[in-house]
């Protein structure tokens, strides 16, 4: 009976290890593609407003970088130093085909951690963005600008198929 329990435990450990290795291999492929092509898609699963509680999100917010452009519609929660003009939707962070120049920051990086920095225009304000992602597929987006308090988003790299199927 004792041998049966030991064998069952060993089998369970092997199954979990295999599942983790398979997930890691898939994550590594997404990271490799991101580094080679300078393109990635991050699906947000939590929002971290400065000075407020974390907000868990399953609303499908995404940030996509492809062909030197960024696209995203991300919610914003926090303090704004400038009153919004009536009728203008500047409550979130929206990038629509904004051209960017990605600066890779490996000087402070640890093995398996990658950091990209760029600035992009959202409405009428310039936002400095830092994207950090890891070999395990985890990612963080940090946004700072002059008119609002900072905000960050956590999520994961996902594969992306464009509307034309590529």
- Spatial contact of 62 and 41, defined as CB atoms under 8 Å apart: yes
pLDDT value of position 111: 75
Q: What pLDDT, on the 0 to 100 scale, is given for residue 3?
A: 65
Domains in the chain: how many in total?
Answer: 1
Whether 53 is covered by a domain: the verdict is yes
Give a three-class secondary structure readout of 65-108. EECCEEEEEECCCCCECCCCCCCCCCCCEEEEEEECCCEECCCC
User: Is 140 inside a domain boundary?
Assistant: yes
Determine the structural domain holding residue 73 and report its residue range.
2-157
Whether residue 164 is contained in a domain is answered as no
Model pLDDT, residue 21? 39
Distances (CA, A) of 25 to 1, 59, 89, 155: 36, 27, 41, 18
Q: Quote the pLDDT of residue 132.
A: 93
The tens digit of pLDDT for each residue in 136-152 reads: 999 999 999 888 899 99
First to last CA, the chain: 54
Cβ-contact 27, 137 below 8 angstroms: yes
Predicted pLDDT of residue 62: 95
In a domain, 163, yes or no: no
- All residue ranges of the chain with pLDDT < 70 are 1-27, 83-90, 106-109, 160-166
The answer as to whether 21 is a domain residue is yes
**Residue 162 within any structural domain of the chain:** no
Q: Residue 48 has which token pair?
A: 């971290």
Q: Among 49, 39, 23, which residue's Cα sits nearest to residue 154?
A: 49
**62-66/40-49 β-pairing:** antiparallel
pLDDT at 113: 87
- Domain contains 44: yes
CATH number, domain containing residue 37: 2.40.128.410
Q: List Cα–Cα distances, 76 to 62, 104, 124, in angstroms.
A: 13, 25, 15
**165 domain-assigned:** no
Query: Taking Cα atoms as reference points, which of 108, 99, 111 lies closest to residue 136?
Result: 111
pLDDT at 147: 84
Measured CA to CA, the distance from residue 146 to residue 38 in angstroms comes to 27
């Amino acid at each position: 009976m004792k041998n049966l329990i030991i064998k069952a435990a060993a089998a369970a450990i092997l199954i979990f290890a295999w599942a983790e290795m398979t997930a890691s291999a898939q994550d590594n492929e997404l990271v490799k593609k991101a580094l080679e092509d300078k393109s990635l898609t991050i699906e947000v699963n939590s929002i971290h407003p400065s000075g407020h509680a974390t907000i868990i999100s399953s609303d499908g917010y995404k940030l996509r970088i492809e062909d030197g452009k960024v696209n995203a519609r991300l919610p914003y929660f926090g303090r704004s130093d400038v009153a919004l003009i009536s009728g203008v939707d500047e409550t979130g962070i929206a990038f629509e085909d904004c051209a960017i120049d990605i600066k890779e920051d490996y000087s402070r990086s640890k093995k398996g951690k990658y950091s990209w920095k760029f600035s992009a225009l959202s409405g009428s304000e310039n936002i400095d963005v830092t994207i950090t992602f890891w070999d395990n597929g985890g990612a963080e987006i940090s946004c700072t600008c002059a008119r609002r308090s900072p905000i960050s988003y956590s999520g994961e790299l996902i594969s992306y198929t464009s509307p034309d199927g590529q």
